[in-house]
Amino acid sequence: MKHLLRIAYHISLKFFITLPLTIAGIPILALGLLFVNKTATTLPTLLKWFDNADEDGLIGDVSNQNKNRKRGIVPNGYWAKLLWLGCRNPVNYFKYRVLGLKNADIMAYTTIYEHPEIEEEFVGDYRSGGTRYIEAKLKNGGFAYEYYLVKPYHLLNYPLCLRLRFGWKIGNPDEPQKAREYYASAATISLFCPFRGQFKSAVANTIANRNAQVPSNQALKQTLRSTVNVKPAQLPQPGSAFRPLFTHKPLANDLLAQPPQSFDLKDHKP
């Protein structure tokens, strides 16, 4: 129930606050940019909510500038700024600085993945499918969180994915290259998001190879039963990691994850 209330809260923010501001921002920026100095890198105070919160400024990152050049749009011109601030990255400052989470307010956090072997950089529409849940403890005693799910699929041979993201875009605060002063509020529901990653990532191949080399839990149990002659109820059972909101497969504990040959029975006494 707690997780559903959290998601409902961020969906409400999106549809009742962020989305109306996004729609209103297009005509406001269309008029306001006419009076902004061509060399300016930030918007005036009256337009601050529609500004960009990071170093990309009014014209976007290098990738966006290159796309504009290919379209015949002047990278630092009026239309480039309107497309970036009004359509591509709308109400960015508002989502980061007003609704956002300040990095300095995070005291500690924990991250849970669908597969512990898959690190954060492998989950995303540019990487591979998976789930991620982050819960961060704040200095004021509260909690911040991030729910992130990417489920790739094909539609008419075109790679797409279901992409859900709620909470704040925390990612991994310990990585300097990804850390931000603020993390934006997020409420993303994309049913037909283009998927540019790998359906079977390098990590997935590594997991598959590892599983092929290590006997399954069932096979290892059978080996133990026939050798030691103990009751099934006495055998260690696979552990289960906490996976809020998302379904998952149980994870084997340390004993069951070991190959049979590492289990020495010479000193065993019934």
Where do the structural domains in the chain lie, given as residue ranges?
A: 2-97, 101-194, 214-258
Rounded to whole angstroms, how far apart are CA atoms 244 and 172?
18
CB proximity list for 90: less than 8 A, separation 6 or greater: 21, 22, 25, 26, 50
Tell me which long-range contacts 235-241 makes (C-beta under 8 A, separation of at least 24): 241/112, 241/116
Q: Taking Cα atoms as reference points, which of 119, 214, 127, 215 lies closest to residue 174?
A: 119
Question: Which pLDDT band holds residue 213 (cuts at 50, 70, 90)?
Answer: low
Predicted pLDDT at 130? 83
Which pLDDT band, with edges at 50, 70 and 90, does 157 fall under?
A: confident
3-state secondary structure string across 143-180: EEEEEEEEEEEEECCEEEEEEEEEEECCCCCCCCCCCC
Give Cα 167 distance to the centre of its chain: 10
Share of the chain above pLDDT 90, in %: 33
Write down the mean pLDDT value for the chain: 76
User: What does the pLDDT average to over 151-172?
Assistant: 89
| pLDDT-above-70 percentage for the chain | 67
- Mean pLDDT across 165-187: 79
Paired sense of beta strands 158-168 and 185-194, if any? antiparallel
Are 139 and 203 within 8 A, CB to CB? Answer: no
Tens of pLDDT along 122-140?
Answer: 677 777 788 888 999 999 9
Contact 144, 214 (CB under 8 A): no
pLDDT recorded at residue 184: 92
Which structure tokens are listed for 98? 């007003």
Contacts 24+ apart (CB under 8 A), 197-200: 197/124, 197/125, 197/126, 197/127, 197/128, 197/129, 197/150, 197/152, 198/127, 198/128, 199/128, 199/129, 199/152, 199/159, 200/128
Q: Are 182 and 53 in contact (CB under 8 A)?
A: yes
Local structure of 231: helix, strand or coil: coil
Model pTM score: 0.68
pLDDT > 60? residue 215: no
What digits encode the pLDDT tens for the residues 50-78? 999 887 889 988 888 888 898 899 988 99
Tens of pLDDT, residues 15-27: 999 999 999 999 9
